[in-house]
Amino acid sequence: MPVNAKHLATFILGAAAGVALNKYLQTEDGEKLMTDLKEKGNQLRTEAEGAIDKAPEYFEKLKTEGISALKEKFPDIEKLLQELIGGNTAITSAEEVK
């Protein structure tokens, strides 16, 4: 692919932006910005780790409450599923899941 003036201009602008960013980050305001970004990154990581730890519990609760809601709203759901799919498609109750 030949290099034309547009590519060269894009490269030069990118390099200039990199130099300017480097100069800014060496100032007091730039250092404060980096500190704030690191703190925010650590907060997000902690929240993500907490969410990962809670995920199995959340999905188990979702499963048991979903089964209860299905049985409550659609009392004949087991019969319908057996007719559609065939075989043993019994939906267990929340007590049976535990």
Q: How far apart are CA 49 and CA 54, in angstroms?
A: 9
pLDDT in tens, the chain (98 residues): 677 889 999 999 999 999 999 999 999 999 999 999 999 999 999 999 999 989 999 899 988 888 888 888 888 887 887 888 876 545 555 455 45
DSSP codes joined into one string, 34-65? HHHHHHHHHHHHHHHHHHHHHHHHHHHHHHHH
> What pTM did the predictor assign?
0.47
Amino acid of residue 7:
H
Q: How far apart are CA 81 and CA 90, in angstroms?
A: 8
How many residues in the chain?
98
pLDDT value of position 83: 83
pLDDT value of position 89: 47
Owner of token pair 């267990």: 92
Identify the CA nearest to 94 among candidates 77, 78, 70. Answer: 70
pLDDT value of position 85: 83
